[in-house]
Structure 1
Amino acid sequence: MQVASIQNDYQINVTDMPIPALPPKGALIRVLGCGLCGSDLDKLVHKKASPGSVLGHEIVGVIEALDDEHPDGWQLGSRLVSAHHVPCGHCHYCLNDSESMCRQFKETNFHPGGFSQYLALSEQHLKSTAFKIPDAISNEEASCVEPLACVLRGVRRGGTQINGSVMVIGLGFIGLMAAQIYQNDGAAVYGVDLDPARNQLGMAEGFLMAAFHPVEQSEQLHDTLKRHTPTGKVDTVFLSVVNNTTLTLALDLVRDGGTMIVFTSGPAGTSIDPSRLYFREINLITTYSPALIDLKNAAHIIANRKINITPLISHRLPLQDIQQAVHLYQSGQAIKVFISMGDIR
């Protein structure tokens, strides 16, 4: 089969690999497509993955083969999505809503990654993290279950506010999904991005009350919050981009006693003054990966189109063009790239 693997020079190229064996009590999945995630780029650009690795975890596929002792509810030909990590469900982390810190969670994964024509799905995946997808839902929409679950966990950990207001900093794929989730929960949602096109997209699709360039429209931004929020600032800031500039902006926009949700890592040297958090009683929440309840809720939201995914899929490319997909992300041209798989050789 064909896979997109990391080369010694940390380019990503299409190469050949044997089709994986059918795992005990598991399934062999024919991958239909896989979304390119920012974490894939992080592993590639910062050389966090080893040469030969196959990235990709936002998969949608079809069951090609099933072990005779597979878990109930699955059949040949079932179209599904699955998250790549599986928590154990009974360790101290799992019992205290920290499933993404579970040691089994960190050790489990797909074999190989999602940028392959086939992958092996374990019994654990079929039992816990895999979901059937209705026929009416496109492959592109289906592939977004796992990243949406990550967003849901961040929103859940941050809590909701009475007559709440939210500022989303960074209107990429994650930020625009988060905006819709907050909006569905009844919050007034605003956005900030350096790219006018992304601000316009959020406004045109109705995901945001207003969107601003943080520098060129700074005065308008603050005036809007003063006129439309009880405190002149927002209750919650959701950061899908983290650096010293966005952290400073978040502290400027969040009200006393409010919440900052950090969804992503930042570059080395990124810092925040703890005194500014302490004296203003700012809640700093981080979120890394979803729990099982978030995956279940995300699958339900996607299956019932409770948010609009389609406008966020900016590019659709075949596996052979994955290096172009990486370039589109790095250059800021792409919001979300969906990689589709070709026929087996």
Structure 2
Amino acid sequence: MEFRRLGGSGLLVSELSYGNWLTHGSATAQSNAPACVHAALDAGINLFSTAAAWGAGDAEVSLAKALRATRRDDLVLCSGVYWPEGPSRNASGLSRKHLHTSLHGSLRRLETDYLDVYQLLRFDYQTPLEETFLALSDLVRHGKILYVGTSEWSAEQLLRASTLAAELRVPLVANQPHYSMLWRVPEAQVMPVCRRAGIGQLVSLPLAQGLLTGKYCDGGIPAGSRAAGDEAARQAIWPLLNKDLLDRIGLLRGVAAHAGLSMAQLAIAWTLQHEDVASAVTGASTPDQITENAKAAGITLDFEVLTQIDELLGTFVQTDPRLTFSPPQYR
């Protein structure tokens, strides 16, 4: 496993990290969770990403149980806040109240005294940004969180946040955008703004919900795939099962084979070619997936391979920065 510094900080994170969105919610997934987490540790992964709202807190509980035998100092634990965590009107968003209640719930479920990175999972249009960052400043000062991150924030929002972070001495060092061969939306605006502000990228969905593994290219829904999962998983993947797109993705098999990589390894290695990417966050339903994906670390793709990928995917690549999304009125 190779390691990179996260943004302008001194924190070293593994090139691949383990996220458990949609993978630790069901009973079957939870039964596989310890083996998946142990496979990640065996592969040298040190960054584990979860969130308070995922599985109504079960994702954090599942991760904590799997990590109990691991030294806390060896881990980079990330959890996030924004999505609803209960029926209360104050149980979502980025208000001072929700940041405090959500964080302490996460610390309890994760069985830890602090988080390495506390991620603001969407921009909150209904809470003043100053309120959010004053609360974060307090949490940093009290040692509850070490660093702060964002997810799916626009370039303009990140500019405002980085200014406040500097004024209030909040170590804003991470951003977690969706980013893959197919989804290059952050490249035009978000990544340049982050680079100037010392914010690194912990990119999510590098496999585009599993599309870039090639598992859907032959038609049908493979057993055990996300498209065959629970309702949340199906909603995430089904809109992407476009035949023309899947045909193009299928052509990448030859590119991957020529490079001596699996389709998944090619897709993850592609994201790691970007100089601003510190780590690619991947999930898994089996330990073997983790072990195979981790082999993408340290891979350098040559110019010919990168050009072939661009040519084959063509107009299916999304680049419009306006597609960076935070719900305008969630609460």
Q: TM-score, normalised by structure 1?
A: 0.27
Q: As a proportion of its length, which structure holds more helix?
A: 2
Task: Flag the structure with larger Rg.
Answer: 1
Q: As a proportion of its length, which structure holds more strand?
A: 1
Q: TM-score, normalised by structure 2?
A: 0.28
Larger RCO (CA within 8 A; separation ≥ 6):
2
